[in-house]
A and B are shown apart, each in its own frame.
Chain A
Amino acid sequence: MTFSGDRALAIARRQAYVLQRAPQRWFDVVVWPVVDAILFGAIGVYFGRQQGAAAASAAFLLAGIILFHVVFQAEVSVATGFLEETWSRNLLNLMVTPLSELEYGAGVALFGLVKLAIGVTVVSLVALALFAFEITSLGLALIPLIAVLLFVGWSVALVVIGLILRLGQGAEIMTWGFIALLLPLSGIFYPVNALPGVLQPIAEVLPTTHVFAAAQQVVAGHPLPWDEVGIAAGGAVVLAILGVWYLTRMLATFRRRGYISRHV
Protein backbone atom coordinates (compact mmCIF):
# COMPACT_ATOMS: atom_id res chain seq x y z
CA MET A 1 0.00 0.00 0.00
CA THR A 2 1.40 3.41 -0.95
CA PHE A 3 1.16 6.33 1.45
CA SER A 4 0.87 9.91 0.24
CA GLY A 5 1.90 12.57 2.73
CA ASP A 6 0.26 15.17 0.48
CA ARG A 7 -3.11 13.49 0.84
CA ALA A 8 -2.75 13.18 4.63
CA LEU A 9 -1.79 16.86 4.84
CA ALA A 10 -4.78 17.81 2.68
CA ILE A 11 -7.08 16.09 5.18
CA ALA A 12 -5.35 17.83 8.09
CA ARG A 13 -5.86 21.14 6.30
CA ARG A 14 -9.54 20.37 5.78
CA GLN A 15 -9.87 19.72 9.53
CA ALA A 16 -8.16 23.04 10.24
CA TYR A 17 -10.73 24.90 8.12
CA VAL A 18 -13.52 23.23 10.07
CA LEU A 19 -12.12 24.31 13.43
CA GLN A 20 -11.41 27.79 12.10
CA ARG A 21 -14.99 28.29 10.85
CA ALA A 22 -17.09 26.37 13.36
CA PRO A 23 -17.15 28.16 16.71
CA GLN A 24 -18.99 25.27 18.36
CA ARG A 25 -15.97 23.01 17.71
CA TRP A 26 -13.96 25.19 20.13
CA PHE A 27 -16.17 23.93 22.94
CA ASP A 28 -14.30 20.61 23.18
CA VAL A 29 -10.94 22.29 22.70
CA VAL A 30 -11.24 25.29 25.02
CA VAL A 31 -14.45 25.46 27.03
CA TRP A 32 -14.42 21.98 28.60
CA PRO A 33 -10.74 22.22 29.57
CA VAL A 34 -11.40 25.54 31.34
CA VAL A 35 -14.52 24.20 33.08
CA ASP A 36 -12.73 21.03 34.21
CA ALA A 37 -9.66 22.85 35.46
CA ILE A 38 -11.74 25.26 37.55
CA LEU A 39 -14.10 22.55 38.80
CA PHE A 40 -11.50 20.01 39.89
CA GLY A 41 -9.03 22.61 41.10
CA ALA A 42 -11.70 24.16 43.35
CA ILE A 43 -12.84 20.75 44.64
CA GLY A 44 -9.22 19.89 45.43
CA VAL A 45 -8.69 23.14 47.30
CA TYR A 46 -11.92 22.76 49.27
CA PHE A 47 -11.31 19.19 50.42
CA GLY A 48 -7.63 19.90 50.98
CA ARG A 49 -8.51 22.74 53.35
CA GLN A 50 -10.46 20.32 55.55
CA GLN A 51 -7.20 18.46 56.08
CA GLY A 52 -4.85 21.45 55.90
CA ALA A 53 -3.31 20.39 52.59
CA ALA A 54 -5.15 22.41 49.98
CA ALA A 55 -2.26 22.74 47.51
CA ALA A 56 -1.42 19.02 47.56
CA SER A 57 -5.03 18.04 47.17
CA ALA A 58 -5.57 20.44 44.28
CA ALA A 59 -2.36 19.22 42.59
CA PHE A 60 -3.61 15.63 42.83
CA LEU A 61 -6.88 16.44 41.09
CA LEU A 62 -5.42 18.89 38.59
CA ALA A 63 -2.72 16.45 37.44
CA GLY A 64 -5.51 13.94 36.92
CA ILE A 65 -7.75 16.27 34.93
CA ILE A 66 -4.91 17.58 32.77
CA LEU A 67 -3.84 14.06 31.86
CA PHE A 68 -7.47 13.09 31.34
CA HIS A 69 -7.69 15.84 28.76
CA VAL A 70 -4.88 14.18 26.81
CA VAL A 71 -6.94 11.04 26.27
CA PHE A 72 -10.16 13.07 25.86
CA GLN A 73 -8.76 15.44 23.24
CA ALA A 74 -6.98 12.62 21.37
CA GLU A 75 -10.19 10.61 21.11
CA VAL A 76 -12.67 13.40 20.50
CA SER A 77 -10.57 15.19 17.89
CA VAL A 78 -10.21 12.07 15.73
CA ALA A 79 -13.81 10.90 16.17
CA THR A 80 -15.33 14.34 15.54
CA GLY A 81 -12.96 14.76 12.59
CA PHE A 82 -14.65 11.76 11.01
CA LEU A 83 -18.10 12.84 12.17
CA GLU A 84 -17.58 16.15 10.39
CA GLU A 85 -17.52 14.23 7.08
CA THR A 86 -20.80 12.51 7.90
CA TRP A 87 -22.42 15.77 9.05
CA SER A 88 -21.29 17.46 5.81
CA ARG A 89 -22.33 14.45 3.70
CA ASN A 90 -18.78 14.43 2.39
CA LEU A 91 -18.08 10.74 3.01
CA LEU A 92 -18.94 9.62 -0.52
CA ASN A 93 -16.82 12.39 -2.03
CA LEU A 94 -13.84 11.15 -0.02
CA MET A 95 -14.45 7.45 -0.61
CA VAL A 96 -14.28 7.79 -4.40
CA THR A 97 -10.86 9.46 -4.31
CA PRO A 98 -7.54 7.58 -4.15
CA LEU A 99 -7.37 8.46 -0.44
CA SER A 100 -6.58 5.37 1.63
CA GLU A 101 -7.91 4.72 5.12
CA LEU A 102 -4.39 5.10 6.51
CA GLU A 103 -3.88 8.47 4.82
CA TYR A 104 -7.23 9.68 6.09
CA GLY A 105 -6.49 8.50 9.63
CA ALA A 106 -3.04 10.09 9.56
CA GLY A 107 -4.46 13.43 8.41
CA VAL A 108 -7.18 13.50 11.05
CA ALA A 109 -4.77 12.36 13.78
CA LEU A 110 -2.22 14.96 12.70
CA PHE A 111 -4.64 17.82 13.12
CA GLY A 112 -5.97 16.07 16.23
CA LEU A 113 -2.50 16.60 17.72
CA VAL A 114 -2.90 20.33 17.14
CA LYS A 115 -6.28 20.31 18.88
CA LEU A 116 -4.85 18.22 21.69
CA ALA A 117 -1.98 20.66 22.13
CA ILE A 118 -4.43 23.57 22.32
CA GLY A 119 -6.75 21.78 24.77
CA VAL A 120 -4.01 20.55 27.09
CA THR A 121 -2.29 23.94 27.01
CA VAL A 122 -5.55 25.64 27.97
CA VAL A 123 -6.24 23.31 30.91
CA SER A 124 -2.61 23.59 32.04
CA LEU A 125 -2.61 27.37 31.88
CA VAL A 126 -5.83 27.62 33.87
CA ALA A 127 -4.38 25.25 36.48
CA LEU A 128 -1.26 27.40 36.68
CA ALA A 129 -3.01 30.76 36.72
CA LEU A 130 -5.79 29.92 39.18
CA PHE A 131 -4.29 27.21 41.37
CA ALA A 132 -0.52 27.67 40.93
CA PHE A 133 -0.22 24.08 39.73
CA GLU A 134 2.45 23.47 37.13
CA ILE A 135 1.97 20.21 35.20
CA THR A 136 5.59 20.34 34.05
CA SER A 137 6.54 19.73 37.70
CA LEU A 138 5.93 16.07 36.85
CA GLY A 139 9.08 16.33 34.72
CA LEU A 140 10.07 13.77 32.09
CA ALA A 141 7.59 11.29 33.54
CA LEU A 142 4.99 13.15 31.51
CA ILE A 143 6.39 11.87 28.22
CA PRO A 144 5.59 8.14 28.57
CA LEU A 145 2.31 8.90 30.35
CA ILE A 146 1.12 11.24 27.60
CA ALA A 147 2.29 8.81 24.90
CA VAL A 148 0.21 5.97 26.36
CA LEU A 149 -2.84 8.21 26.80
CA LEU A 150 -2.51 9.43 23.22
CA PHE A 151 -2.56 5.85 21.92
CA VAL A 152 -5.51 4.96 24.12
CA GLY A 153 -7.44 8.01 22.86
CA TRP A 154 -6.76 7.20 19.22
CA SER A 155 -7.65 3.53 19.74
CA VAL A 156 -10.98 4.40 21.35
CA ALA A 157 -11.61 6.77 18.42
CA LEU A 158 -11.12 3.88 15.98
CA VAL A 159 -13.77 1.88 17.82
CA VAL A 160 -16.14 4.87 17.82
CA ILE A 161 -15.65 5.40 14.07
CA GLY A 162 -16.29 1.68 13.54
CA LEU A 163 -19.54 2.01 15.50
CA ILE A 164 -20.62 5.01 13.42
CA LEU A 165 -19.88 3.09 10.20
CA ARG A 166 -21.88 0.14 11.49
CA LEU A 167 -24.80 1.89 13.21
CA GLY A 168 -24.92 5.28 11.51
CA GLN A 169 -24.91 8.73 13.06
CA GLY A 170 -26.98 7.48 16.00
CA ALA A 171 -23.74 6.11 17.41
CA GLU A 172 -22.09 9.53 17.52
CA ILE A 173 -22.96 9.87 21.20
CA MET A 174 -20.24 7.29 21.83
CA THR A 175 -17.68 9.90 20.82
CA TRP A 176 -18.14 11.44 24.26
CA GLY A 177 -19.78 8.40 25.91
CA PHE A 178 -16.78 6.05 25.81
CA ILE A 179 -14.50 8.63 27.33
CA ALA A 180 -17.09 9.43 29.97
CA LEU A 181 -16.98 5.74 30.94
CA LEU A 182 -13.22 5.91 31.36
CA LEU A 183 -13.48 8.87 33.71
CA PRO A 184 -14.88 7.04 36.78
CA LEU A 185 -13.29 3.67 35.99
CA SER A 186 -9.69 4.83 35.58
CA GLY A 187 -9.13 6.01 39.15
CA ILE A 188 -8.22 9.47 37.99
CA PHE A 189 -9.13 11.19 41.25
CA TYR A 190 -9.06 8.28 43.70
CA PRO A 191 -7.41 4.89 44.06
CA VAL A 192 -9.12 1.99 42.28
CA ASN A 193 -9.96 0.35 45.62
CA ALA A 194 -12.41 3.22 46.24
CA LEU A 195 -14.59 1.86 43.41
CA PRO A 196 -17.35 -0.67 44.10
CA GLY A 197 -15.84 -4.17 44.17
CA VAL A 198 -17.65 -5.29 41.03
CA LEU A 199 -16.01 -2.48 39.00
CA GLN A 200 -12.47 -2.92 40.26
CA PRO A 201 -11.51 -5.81 37.92
CA ILE A 202 -12.73 -3.74 34.96
CA ALA A 203 -10.68 -0.76 36.16
CA GLU A 204 -7.57 -2.91 36.53
CA VAL A 205 -7.58 -3.99 32.87
CA LEU A 206 -7.82 -0.43 31.58
CA PRO A 207 -4.46 1.03 30.53
CA THR A 208 -5.63 4.47 31.68
CA THR A 209 -5.95 3.21 35.28
CA HIS A 210 -2.23 2.39 35.35
CA VAL A 211 -1.28 5.71 33.76
CA PHE A 212 -3.15 7.65 36.43
CA ALA A 213 -1.79 5.41 39.20
CA ALA A 214 1.71 6.20 37.93
CA ALA A 215 0.94 9.93 37.73
CA GLN A 216 -0.37 9.94 41.30
CA GLN A 217 2.89 8.38 42.50
CA VAL A 218 4.87 11.10 40.77
CA VAL A 219 2.65 13.88 42.17
CA ALA A 220 3.24 12.40 45.64
CA GLY A 221 6.98 12.84 45.10
CA HIS A 222 7.87 9.25 44.28
CA PRO A 223 9.83 8.15 41.20
CA LEU A 224 7.88 7.05 38.14
CA PRO A 225 6.70 3.46 38.68
CA TRP A 226 7.83 1.86 35.42
CA ASP A 227 5.94 -1.34 36.16
CA GLU A 228 2.67 0.62 35.99
CA VAL A 229 3.81 2.34 32.81
CA GLY A 230 4.73 -1.05 31.30
CA ILE A 231 1.29 -2.49 32.09
CA ALA A 232 -0.35 0.65 30.67
CA ALA A 233 1.74 0.49 27.49
CA GLY A 234 0.94 -3.20 27.02
CA GLY A 235 -2.75 -2.48 27.48
CA ALA A 236 -2.56 0.40 25.02
CA VAL A 237 -0.99 -1.88 22.39
CA VAL A 238 -3.76 -4.46 22.89
CA LEU A 239 -6.37 -1.70 22.65
CA ALA A 240 -4.77 -0.32 19.46
CA ILE A 241 -4.82 -3.78 17.86
CA LEU A 242 -8.46 -4.21 18.86
CA GLY A 243 -9.30 -0.76 17.51
CA VAL A 244 -7.69 -1.39 14.12
CA TRP A 245 -9.27 -4.85 13.90
CA TYR A 246 -12.74 -3.55 14.77
CA LEU A 247 -12.56 -0.58 12.40
CA THR A 248 -11.33 -2.80 9.55
CA ARG A 249 -14.21 -5.21 10.12
CA MET A 250 -16.79 -2.44 10.31
CA LEU A 251 -15.45 -0.80 7.16
CA ALA A 252 -15.78 -4.14 5.35
CA THR A 253 -19.36 -4.44 6.67
CA PHE A 254 -20.05 -0.85 5.59
CA ARG A 255 -18.92 -1.63 2.04
CA ARG A 256 -20.64 -5.03 1.93
CA ARG A 257 -24.03 -3.79 3.15
CA GLY A 258 -23.98 -0.57 1.18
CA TYR A 259 -24.30 1.68 4.23
CA ILE A 260 -23.02 4.62 2.18
CA SER A 261 -26.71 5.18 1.37
CA ARG A 262 -27.09 6.51 4.95
CA HIS A 263 -24.63 9.30 4.22
CA VAL A 264 -25.73 10.76 0.87
Chain B
Amino acid sequence: MSDSSEPTQRAPVLQARGLVKEYKRVRAVDGIDLQVDAGERVALLGPNGAGKTTTLMMLLGVITPDAGEIEIVGKRLPRDRSAAMEQVGFAAGYLPLPERLKVNEFLVLFGRLYGIHDPAPAAALALERFGISDLALAMGNELSSGQRTLVGIIKATLHHPRLLVLDEPTASLDPDVARRVRNGLERLCSEEGTALLVTSHNMLEVERLCDRVVFVSGGRVVADGTAEEVATRFGRDDLEGVFLHLADTAQPGEQAQ
Protein backbone atom coordinates (compact mmCIF):
# COMPACT_ATOMS: atom_id res chain seq x y z
CA MET B 1 0.00 0.00 0.00
CA SER B 2 2.15 2.86 -1.10
CA ASP B 3 1.10 6.46 -1.30
CA SER B 4 -1.13 6.48 -4.33
CA SER B 5 -0.57 10.18 -5.08
CA GLU B 6 3.21 10.00 -5.08
CA PRO B 7 4.77 6.81 -6.44
CA THR B 8 7.98 6.26 -4.56
CA GLN B 9 11.09 4.11 -4.64
CA ARG B 10 11.61 4.40 -0.88
CA ALA B 11 12.24 1.11 0.88
CA PRO B 12 9.64 0.01 3.41
CA VAL B 13 10.63 0.23 7.06
CA LEU B 14 7.49 -1.55 8.16
CA GLN B 15 5.54 -4.27 6.43
CA ALA B 16 2.62 -6.06 8.04
CA ARG B 17 0.48 -8.56 6.19
CA GLY B 18 -2.77 -10.20 7.22
CA LEU B 19 -2.65 -9.29 10.91
CA VAL B 20 -5.39 -10.96 12.95
CA LYS B 21 -6.06 -10.77 16.67
CA GLU B 22 -9.01 -12.21 18.49
CA TYR B 23 -9.87 -11.80 22.19
CA LYS B 24 -12.51 -14.12 23.60
CA ARG B 25 -14.43 -14.44 20.33
CA VAL B 26 -14.12 -10.71 19.58
CA ARG B 27 -12.01 -10.12 16.50
CA ALA B 28 -10.12 -6.91 17.40
CA VAL B 29 -7.97 -6.97 14.26
CA ASP B 30 -9.23 -8.72 11.17
CA GLY B 31 -6.64 -9.00 8.45
CA ILE B 32 -4.84 -5.65 8.50
CA ASP B 33 -2.13 -4.99 5.90
CA LEU B 34 0.08 -1.99 6.51
CA GLN B 35 3.24 -0.66 4.93
CA VAL B 36 5.22 2.40 5.96
CA ASP B 37 8.07 3.54 3.75
CA ALA B 38 11.26 5.29 4.82
CA GLY B 39 10.56 8.91 5.71
CA GLU B 40 6.81 8.50 5.24
CA ARG B 41 4.37 9.93 7.81
CA VAL B 42 1.34 7.75 8.25
CA ALA B 43 -1.63 8.11 10.58
CA LEU B 44 -3.57 5.09 11.78
CA LEU B 45 -7.06 6.36 12.52
CA GLY B 46 -10.38 5.02 13.66
CA PRO B 47 -12.97 5.15 16.43
CA ASN B 48 -12.28 3.75 19.89
CA GLY B 49 -12.13 -0.03 19.73
CA ALA B 50 -11.38 -0.06 15.99
CA GLY B 51 -8.18 -2.04 16.57
CA LYS B 52 -5.55 0.71 16.34
CA THR B 53 -3.73 0.13 19.61
CA THR B 54 -3.86 -3.65 19.27
CA THR B 55 -2.34 -3.23 15.80
CA LEU B 56 0.40 -0.96 17.17
CA MET B 57 1.16 -3.40 19.99
CA MET B 58 1.48 -6.23 17.48
CA LEU B 59 3.80 -4.13 15.31
CA LEU B 60 5.96 -3.49 18.39
CA GLY B 61 6.10 -7.17 19.37
CA VAL B 62 4.22 -6.66 22.63
CA ILE B 63 1.16 -8.63 21.50
CA THR B 64 1.50 -11.81 19.44
CA PRO B 65 -0.80 -11.85 16.39
CA ASP B 66 -3.00 -14.90 15.84
CA ALA B 67 -2.08 -14.72 12.17
CA GLY B 68 -0.03 -12.53 9.87
CA GLU B 69 3.54 -11.44 9.36
CA ILE B 70 5.48 -8.38 10.50
CA GLU B 71 8.82 -7.12 9.24
CA ILE B 72 10.60 -4.03 10.50
CA VAL B 73 13.60 -2.90 8.46
CA GLY B 74 13.81 -6.44 7.11
CA LYS B 75 13.74 -8.02 10.57
CA ARG B 76 10.97 -10.53 11.16
CA LEU B 77 8.93 -10.45 14.38
CA PRO B 78 8.91 -12.15 16.81
CA ARG B 79 12.16 -13.94 15.89
CA ASP B 80 14.28 -10.80 15.45
CA ARG B 81 12.34 -8.57 17.84
CA SER B 82 15.38 -7.24 19.65
CA ALA B 83 17.22 -6.29 16.43
CA ALA B 84 14.05 -4.78 14.98
CA MET B 85 13.40 -2.64 18.04
CA GLU B 86 16.84 -1.05 17.71
CA GLN B 87 15.33 0.72 14.69
CA VAL B 88 12.05 1.71 16.34
CA GLY B 89 11.10 4.39 18.83
CA PHE B 90 7.79 4.41 20.71
CA ALA B 91 6.02 6.98 22.83
CA ALA B 92 2.45 7.23 24.04
CA GLY B 93 0.62 10.18 25.53
CA TYR B 94 -0.89 7.98 28.23
CA LEU B 95 2.37 6.57 29.58
CA PRO B 96 3.84 8.18 32.69
CA LEU B 97 7.57 8.44 33.25
CA PRO B 98 8.82 5.85 35.70
CA GLU B 99 8.81 7.05 39.28
CA ARG B 100 12.02 7.77 41.14
CA LEU B 101 13.99 8.77 38.06
CA LYS B 102 15.08 12.23 37.05
CA VAL B 103 14.47 13.21 33.45
CA ASN B 104 18.15 12.92 32.48
CA GLU B 105 18.44 9.55 34.26
CA PHE B 106 15.35 8.32 32.42
CA LEU B 107 16.81 9.38 29.06
CA VAL B 108 20.21 7.86 29.80
CA LEU B 109 18.59 4.61 30.93
CA PHE B 110 16.59 4.26 27.72
CA GLY B 111 19.50 5.49 25.60
CA ARG B 112 21.52 2.58 26.95
CA LEU B 113 18.67 0.15 26.36
CA TYR B 114 18.59 1.33 22.74
CA GLY B 115 22.32 0.66 22.39
CA ILE B 116 23.81 4.16 22.79
CA HIS B 117 27.06 3.71 24.70
CA ASP B 118 27.19 7.23 26.17
CA PRO B 119 23.67 8.68 25.91
CA ALA B 120 24.14 11.69 28.22
CA PRO B 121 25.32 14.18 25.53
CA ALA B 122 22.58 13.05 23.13
CA ALA B 123 19.99 13.43 25.89
CA ALA B 124 21.18 16.95 26.73
CA LEU B 125 21.11 17.93 23.06
CA ALA B 126 17.61 16.52 22.57
CA LEU B 127 16.27 18.34 25.63
CA GLU B 128 17.70 21.54 24.20
CA ARG B 129 16.15 20.83 20.80
CA PHE B 130 12.70 20.64 22.35
CA GLY B 131 13.41 23.67 24.55
CA ILE B 132 13.16 21.86 27.89
CA SER B 133 16.79 21.72 29.08
CA ASP B 134 15.64 23.11 32.42
CA LEU B 135 13.79 19.85 33.11
CA ALA B 136 16.90 17.67 33.04
CA LEU B 137 17.08 17.39 36.82
CA ALA B 138 13.33 17.27 37.47
CA MET B 139 11.82 14.05 38.79
CA GLY B 140 9.61 12.30 36.24
CA ASN B 141 6.51 12.43 38.42
CA GLU B 142 6.82 16.22 38.84
CA LEU B 143 6.22 16.96 35.13
CA SER B 144 3.03 18.23 33.55
CA SER B 145 1.40 16.00 30.94
CA GLY B 146 2.81 18.20 28.15
CA GLN B 147 6.35 18.02 29.53
CA ARG B 148 5.98 14.27 30.01
CA THR B 149 4.93 13.86 26.39
CA LEU B 150 7.91 15.84 25.16
CA VAL B 151 10.30 13.80 27.30
CA GLY B 152 8.63 10.60 26.08
CA ILE B 153 9.19 11.63 22.46
CA ILE B 154 12.80 12.54 23.19
CA LYS B 155 13.25 9.09 24.75
CA ALA B 156 11.78 7.51 21.63
CA THR B 157 14.07 9.40 19.25
CA LEU B 158 17.41 9.45 21.11
CA HIS B 159 18.75 6.52 19.10
CA HIS B 160 17.71 8.00 15.71
CA PRO B 161 15.17 5.27 14.88
CA ARG B 162 14.14 4.54 11.31
CA LEU B 163 10.53 4.25 12.47
CA LEU B 164 8.83 6.30 15.16
CA VAL B 165 5.56 4.92 16.51
CA LEU B 166 3.39 7.31 18.52
CA ASP B 167 0.13 6.38 20.20
CA GLU B 168 -2.02 9.44 20.94
CA PRO B 169 1.06 11.68 21.38
CA THR B 170 -0.86 14.91 21.87
CA ALA B 171 -3.86 13.64 23.81
CA SER B 172 -4.72 16.05 26.63
CA LEU B 173 -2.12 18.63 25.56
CA ASP B 174 -2.95 22.31 25.22
CA PRO B 175 -2.72 23.70 21.66
CA ASP B 176 0.63 25.39 22.31
CA VAL B 177 2.37 22.25 23.57
CA ALA B 178 0.66 20.18 20.86
CA ARG B 179 2.10 22.56 18.26
CA ARG B 180 5.58 22.24 19.77
CA VAL B 181 5.30 18.46 19.64
CA ARG B 182 4.10 18.60 16.03
CA ASN B 183 6.88 20.99 15.01
CA GLY B 184 9.50 18.86 16.73
CA LEU B 185 8.24 15.76 14.95
CA GLU B 186 8.15 17.48 11.55
CA ARG B 187 11.71 18.69 12.02
CA LEU B 188 12.89 15.27 13.13
CA CYS B 189 11.26 13.47 10.22
CA SER B 190 12.54 15.90 7.61
CA GLU B 191 16.08 16.15 9.03
CA GLU B 192 16.65 12.47 9.77
CA GLY B 193 14.29 10.78 7.32
CA THR B 194 12.49 9.02 10.17
CA ALA B 195 9.24 7.34 9.19
CA LEU B 196 6.28 8.07 11.43
CA LEU B 197 3.31 5.93 12.34
CA VAL B 198 0.92 7.79 14.60
CA THR B 199 -2.54 7.29 16.07
CA SER B 200 -4.56 10.32 17.03
CA HIS B 201 -8.11 11.49 17.51
CA ASN B 202 -7.14 14.99 16.48
CA MET B 203 -7.97 15.02 12.78
CA LEU B 204 -6.65 18.53 12.19
CA GLU B 205 -3.30 17.55 13.60
CA VAL B 206 -3.21 14.47 11.38
CA GLU B 207 -3.96 16.51 8.28
CA ARG B 208 -1.07 18.83 9.13
CA LEU B 209 1.44 16.16 10.07
CA CYS B 210 0.86 13.10 7.91
CA ASP B 211 1.34 12.27 4.22
CA ARG B 212 -1.07 9.38 4.34
CA VAL B 213 -3.93 8.18 6.52
CA VAL B 214 -5.10 4.63 7.10
CA PHE B 215 -8.59 4.36 8.56
CA VAL B 216 -9.51 1.22 10.44
CA SER B 217 -12.95 0.20 11.57
CA GLY B 218 -14.05 -3.13 13.01
CA GLY B 219 -10.45 -4.31 12.86
CA ARG B 220 -10.15 -3.78 9.09
CA VAL B 221 -8.57 -1.15 6.88
CA VAL B 222 -11.45 0.75 5.30
CA ALA B 223 -9.50 3.56 3.63
CA ASP B 224 -5.90 4.29 2.74
CA GLY B 225 -4.61 7.40 0.97
CA THR B 226 -3.98 11.09 1.43
CA ALA B 227 -6.36 13.02 3.65
CA GLU B 228 -8.05 14.54 0.58
CA GLU B 229 -8.41 11.20 -1.18
CA VAL B 230 -9.96 9.55 1.86
CA ALA B 231 -12.35 12.44 2.49
CA THR B 232 -13.40 12.42 -1.17
CA ARG B 233 -13.92 8.69 -1.17
CA PHE B 234 -16.38 8.96 1.73
CA GLY B 235 -18.02 12.08 0.30
CA ARG B 236 -16.97 14.25 3.27
CA ASP B 237 -15.24 17.61 3.52
CA ASP B 238 -12.42 16.48 5.78
CA LEU B 239 -11.09 13.67 7.98
CA GLU B 240 -13.28 14.73 10.86
CA GLY B 241 -16.32 14.02 8.69
CA VAL B 242 -14.93 10.61 7.73
CA PHE B 243 -14.20 9.84 11.38
CA LEU B 244 -17.72 10.75 12.49
CA HIS B 245 -19.21 8.76 9.64
CA LEU B 246 -17.20 5.67 10.63
CA ALA B 247 -18.03 6.19 14.32
CA ASP B 248 -21.75 6.33 13.43
CA THR B 249 -21.54 3.10 11.47
CA ALA B 250 -19.30 1.26 13.95
CA GLN B 251 -20.66 -1.74 15.86
CA PRO B 252 -22.06 -0.71 19.28
CA GLY B 253 -19.47 -2.82 21.15
CA GLU B 254 -16.66 -1.33 19.12
CA GLN B 255 -17.21 2.21 20.39
CA ALA B 256 -17.62 1.05 23.96
CA GLN B 257 -14.24 -0.69 24.10
Residues of A near any B CB (own CB < 8 A):
1-2, 4, 6-7, 9-11, 13-14, 17-18, 20-22, 85, 87-90, 92-100, 252, 255-258, 260, 264
Q: Could you list some 14 contacts between A and B, CB below 8 A?
A: A6-B115, A6-B117, A14-B101, A21-B100, A89-B96, A92-B92, A92-B95, A93-B110, A96-B61, A96-B88, A97-B85, A97-B113, A252-B64, A255-B61
Interface size class of B (residues with CB under 8 A): 35 or more
Whole-angstrom distance from the CB of B52 to the nearest CB of chain A? Answer: 13
Would B112 and A7 count as touching, CB distance under 8 A?
yes
Give 4 nearest A-B pairs by CB, closest first: A10-B112, A88-B98, A90-B98, A21-B100
Instruction: Name the CB-closest residue of A to B119.
Output: A10
Chain B residues whose C-beta falls within 8 Å of the C-beta of A94 in the assembled complex: 113
Q: Does B143 reach chain A (CB closer than 8 Å)?
A: no
Q: Given the known A-B contacts A2-B82, A88-B98, are A10 and B62 also in contact in the complex, defined by CB atoms under 8 Å?
A: no
Q: Which of B63, B101, B115, B117 has the most CB of A within 10 A?
A: B63
Would A10 and B23 count as touching, CB distance under 8 A?
no
Would A88 and B96 count as touching, CB distance under 8 A?
yes
Contact among B57, B62, B105 for A17, CB-based, below 8 A: B105
Dominant SS among interface residues on chain A: helix
Q: Does B21 reach chain A (CB closer than 8 Å)?
A: yes
Q: Given the known A-B contacts A6-B117, A255-B62, A258-B21, are A96 and B90 also in contact in the complex, defined by CB atoms under 8 Å?
A: yes
Would A98 and B113 count as touching, CB distance under 8 A?
yes
Q: Compute how far the CA of A136 lies from the CA of B109 in the bound complex, rounded to whole angstroms.
A: 38
Would B113 and A258 count as touching, CB distance under 8 A?
no
Whole-angstrom distance from the CB of B97 to the nearest CB of chain A? Answer: 8
Instruction: Name the CB-closest residue of A to B89.
Output: A96
Would A13 and B23 count as touching, CB distance under 8 A?
no
Q: Given the known A-B contacts A10-B109, A10-B113, are A98 and B86 also in contact in the complex, defined by CB atoms under 8 Å?
A: yes
Q: C-beta contact mask, B40-80 vs A, less than 8 Å → 1, else 0?
A: 00000000000000100100111110000000000000100
Q: Given the known A-B contacts A7-B112, A100-B82, are A258 and B100 also in contact in the complex, defined by CB atoms under 8 Å?
A: no
Would B100 and A96 count as touching, CB distance under 8 A?
no
Would A97 and B114 count as touching, CB distance under 8 A?
yes
Would A93 and B62 count as touching, CB distance under 8 A?
no
Whole-angstrom distance from the CB of B95 to the nearest CB of chain A? Answer: 6
